Structures are given as C-alpha cells and as structure tokens.
C-alpha cells in the first residue's frame, strides 16, 4: 500500500510517502512569485499624490500559470499513490484537489481527505500523515 500525505501551501509541498516498511519525506518548492506591486509613478504634486498603475490581471494570470506548473510537478511526484491525503493552512490544498478533479480524475479518486492544518515542522507533518493512515 503506497500512502502519500501532502502538506502544501503556496510556497512548498511537504510530501510523506508511506510504504509497508518505509517512510520517505520530500519537499517540493513551488516557484510561485509573491505579488508585491512596487513603484510610484505619477507626480508628487498631483492632487491626490502619486498614482500607481498596477496591472492586476497580468499578475493574476501569471500566478495561475505558476500554480498549474506547481500542481503538475506534484502530480508527477504522487502518480504512484494508492491513497492520498491533502493538508494545508490556506486554500492551496482545495485548489489542488479541484485541479485533480478536473484534469487527473484517476488521482482525484484516490484522495481520501482535504483538511485544514496550520504551519508545521517536518516532524509534525510526518506524524500527521502517519496518524491519518494509522501506520
């Protein structure tokens, strides 16, 4: 039985691979950029101060493509799973589950749970996955 537990957020995914006799821990970095508009275009003498022109749609589109690439790398790492458990502090785990449902239905069927879990150390992630799969 190849059970995989994944704690993921926007920055990284901690994967715990549980087999009958072994346990393996890996971290996959997402390479998703943080969105921080910078600048100060405009003039200081303008009536309401400097005005920034920020193209949110460009940043959001780029982030969407970066999420897709991140999820594709995750799918490659877990394609041998028999059972999958997803954990995470924000909506990234739910987003990953939706991506699986949409584009990878054979893997989506193996997802046993999607749960909220705060930030954890590597050992806490391992314990969470072991406790979930009772090994």
CATH number at residue 21: 3.30.420.60
Domain carrying residue 74: 3-30+57-133
Tell me what the mean pLDDT of segment 1-30 comes to: 92
Structural domains of the chain, count = 1
Q: Is residue 50 predicted with pLDDT exceeding 90?
A: no
Amino acid 44: pLDDT? 58
Closest to 94 in 3D by CA, of 76, 109, 115: 115
| pTM for the structure as a whole | 0.81
- Provide the β-strand partners of residue 105: none
Tell me what the mean pLDDT of segment 29-44 comes to: 69
Tell me what the mean pLDDT of segment 41-65 comes to: 71
The DSSP symbol for 3 reads E
Mean pLDDT, the chain, rounded, equals: 87
Amino acid 33: pLDDT? 82
């Amino acid at each position: 039985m190849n059970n995989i537990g994944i704690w993921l957020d926007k920055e990284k995914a901690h994967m715990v691979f549980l087999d009958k006799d072994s346990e393996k821990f890996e971290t996959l970095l997402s390479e998703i950029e943080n969105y921080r508009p910078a600048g100060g275009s405009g003039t200081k003498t303008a009536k309401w101060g400097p005005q920034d022109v920020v193209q949110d749609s460009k940043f959001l589109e780029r982030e969407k493509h970066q999420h897709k690439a991140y999820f594709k790398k995750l799918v490659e790492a877990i394609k041998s799973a028999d059972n999958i458990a997803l954990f995470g502090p924000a909506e990234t785990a739910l987003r990953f589950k939706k991506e699986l449902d949409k584009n990878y239905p054979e893997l989506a069927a193996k997802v046993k749970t999607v749960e909220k879990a705060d930030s954890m150390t590597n050992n806490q992630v391992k314990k969470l996955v072991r406790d979930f799969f009772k090994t």
